[in-house]
Amino acid sequence: MFNALKKKINTAVGKITEKVSQDAEKENIIAEGEVESSKYPPEENLTEDLKKVEESSEKEEKKESVFSRFRRKEAEDETLEEKVTSKPEKIEKEEKSEDTEAGVFSFIREKTLSEKDVDDILWELEMSLLESDVALEVAEKIINSVKDDLVVKKIKRSSDVEKYTRKALKNAISTILDVESEDIDDLIQEKNSKGEPLIIMFVGINGTGKTTTIAKFSNFFLNKGYKPVIAASDTFSAGAIEQISHHAEKIGVKIIKHKKGADPAAVAFDAISHAKAQGKELVLIDTAGRMQTNINLMDEMAKIKRVAKPDLIIYVGDSLTGNDAVEQAIKFNESVGLDGIILTKADADAKGGAALSIGYVIDKPILFLGTGQSYEDLMEFRPEWMVEQLV
């Protein structure tokens, strides 16, 4: 799941780590060379100074008398004794000098990241995100966030580069996925305390797996001990009514349906009445799959909303369609208002662009991911889980 996007992110992390480490190594070599050369004078100056000392010494020796040489010898012996006596103090001074020198090199090895270090590679990562169907505004936000976290960061070891880069990416993606969400269990309890069912309306276009998702959703809450009822409000075709009826029968859920061509809003109203009469906690309203550009069908959906007064409207989108799923969600949100998202076929989605983008773009949470063909293949979406999948 999301393997292609994860691979691209890991490639970017590797490139940043390699580039910064190589640049830091070059800077260290240059800096260490400058420190070493500053400790010693140039070789030609050293040779010249040595010649001057030797010539001066020869002149002094010629002037010295035998008695003077004797006195000089005594003085040298006394100096030697002083040196032996004060040896520990000398060693301590030398050790301090070495410590200072080590401190200098420790500072030299510290690398401060600049925009130059990461710009090219982050640009490549942005292109990779766009290729993975990540929305442009999301890709830009991730890149800018990573850059802000990394630039001016002081790195002491090359191994830290990877750690800081991964942390910056995790922070960026977490921010993108951090969309406020209400807990459906809490909403059910709140409605039931008033003697009413929680009403959820499902919308989306044809072919996204909306009907199967409603069956999975029913099964998910059946396993939690709730009693749902399904409203077959997709009366546009007989096949749609038959399909949802088949799923309801297999999982053991009551379905309310009318004939083909009946008023979809009337079907939803009857399902709500049944739930109230029978003390059922959930009403799940199926609607006709439609293109977001079909004005008449969108108006029909708005009528179901007026009659049923759903507590939640959930958009069901196909994660494999990438940016198309995002654009569809925008249109549905503008027409009827969305409260949450379910993405289907996430198990086959290598890119992950829709999952990363859709919630941020319309500011609505992803609630569930469809992960297979069976009724059990529906998982609650957790932002931290997706961050770990990608970075």
> Distance between CA atoms of 278 and 294, rounded to whole angstroms?
36
Residue 351: its pLDDT value, please? 86
Could you tell me the residue range of the domain that residue 79 belongs to? 30-109
Structural domain total, the chain:
3
- Regions of the chain where pLDDT drops below 70: 24-109, 158-159, 290-294
**Token pair listed for 156:** 């002491």
> Distance between CA atoms of 8 and 52, rounded to whole angstroms?
67
**Token pair listed for 202:** 């499902």
Q: Does residue 389 sit within a domain?
A: no
Q: How much of the chain, in percent, has pLDDT values that exceed 70?
A: 76
Instruction: Indicate if 311 and 195 belong to the same structural domain.
Output: yes
Q: Does residue 223 sit within a domain?
A: yes
Instruction: Indicate if 141 and 256 belong to the same structural domain.
Output: no
Instruction: Indicate if 22 and 71 belong to the same structural domain.
Output: no
Q: Does residue 391 sit within a domain?
A: no
CATH number at residue 125: 1.20.120.140
Instruction: Indicate if 214 and 286 belong to the same structural domain.
Output: yes
- Domain end, chosen from 177, 194, 229, is at 177
- Domain end, chosen from 51, 80, 109, is at 109
Q: How far is C-alpha 223 from the geometric centre of its chain's CA atoms?
A: 32
Residue 22: its pLDDT value, please? 74
Residue 98: its pLDDT value, please? 45
Instruction: Indicate if 133 and 193 belong to the same structural domain.
Output: no
Instruction: Indicate if 207 and 274 belong to the same structural domain.
Output: yes
Instruction: Indicate if 100 and 240 belong to the same structural domain.
Output: no
